[in-house]
Amino acid sequence: MQVTVIDYGIGNLFSVGRALEHCGAEVTFTSDPALIARAPRLVLPGVGAFADGMKGLRERALAEPIRRYAASGRPLLGICLGMQMLATASNEFGEHEGLGLIPGRVVAVPDHTTSGMPHKIPHIGWNGLQAPAGVSWNETLLGDTPEGTAVYLVHSYAVTPDDDPAHRLADCLYGGHRICAAIRRGNIVGCQFHPEKSGAAGLRILRRFIAG
């Protein structure tokens, strides 16, 4: 199955591409809006700051093609910064507009635990995925993922969906705080964690994306 990965000058393209190929995908990297429009499956990767990511998309005239692709109903996966840019806006180093595909804001991960103790930011390392109350992972990219499965994260900011029950797919606990680890709206899914760096569990998620 063909998977198109967006190249906008920011992102861990090599590791994402290798993981997708390992899972059986034929991968195309592109910054061409015409190729994005024709993609059967689309991945928006990314690392770094929200403003830089959106600037990279705007400079290559990719924001509107991504929005049109999302409206087509075909599968779209955002990873790390790519997940954050699916949201409405971010307050990382100022106020910045996102793609607005899943209503919500990107806010700082709390720098103190729920008991008031300072802890490390960015949040780096392996953490177990938890299903929010009332949320089922059946028929989603996490359908083969048991609750508690550890995945790899590197981030200082995270999405807070406006409609938590509808769009919040998975959380992880950090210092007692429930941090949003995955979001979903129809054909659009975002993973704050890096499936390409999350071992066998991450590869299972990518296989579901490819097969879906």
CB atoms within 10 A of CB 30: 18
Structural domains in the chain, CATH included, are: 2-211 (3.40.50.880)
**C-alpha pair distances (Å), 23 with each of 186, 206, 212:** 23, 7, 13
Structure confidence at residue 80 (pLDDT): 97
Active site (catalytic) residues: 80, 194, 196
Give 192's DSSP letter: S
> Percent of the chain scored above 70 by pLDDT?
100
pLDDT at 12 over 80: no
Structure confidence at residue 195 (pLDDT): 98
Whose tokens are 């054909």? That residue is 187
Structure confidence at residue 96 (pLDDT): 97
Structure confidence at residue 165 (pLDDT): 84
Q: How confident is the model at residue 11 (pLDDT cuts 50, 70, 90)?
A: confident
Question: Average pLDDT in the 86-111 region?
Answer: 96
Q: How confident is the model at residue 164 (pLDDT cuts 50, 70, 90)?
A: confident
Report the chain's mean pLDDT, rounded to a whole number.
Answer: 96
DSSP letters, 52-101, are HHHHHHHHTT-HHHHHHHHHTT--EEEETHHHHTTSSEE-TTS-EE---S
Give every CB contact of residue 173 below 8 A, 6+ residues apart in sequence. 127, 128, 130, 179
Higher pLDDT, 9 or 20: 20
Read off the pTM: 0.96
Whose tokens are 């680890």? That residue is 181
Q: With contact defined as beta carbons under 8 Å apart, do 44 and 6 qualify?
A: yes
> Percent of the chain scored above 90 by pLDDT?
93
Task: Give tens-digit pLDDT for 100-150.
Answer: 999 999 999 999 999 999 999 999 999 999 999 999 999 999 999 999 999
Higher pLDDT, 161 or 11: 161
Structure confidence at residue 212 (pLDDT): 79
**C-alpha dihedral (69, 86, 148, 135), degrees to nearest 10:** -80
Q: At what angle do helices 50-59 and 63-71 cross, to 10 degrees?
A: 90
Task: Give tens-digit pLDDT for 13-61.
Answer: 889 999 999 999 999 999 999 999 999 999 999 999 999 999 999 999 9
Interatomic CA distance for residues 66 and 166, integer angstroms: 22
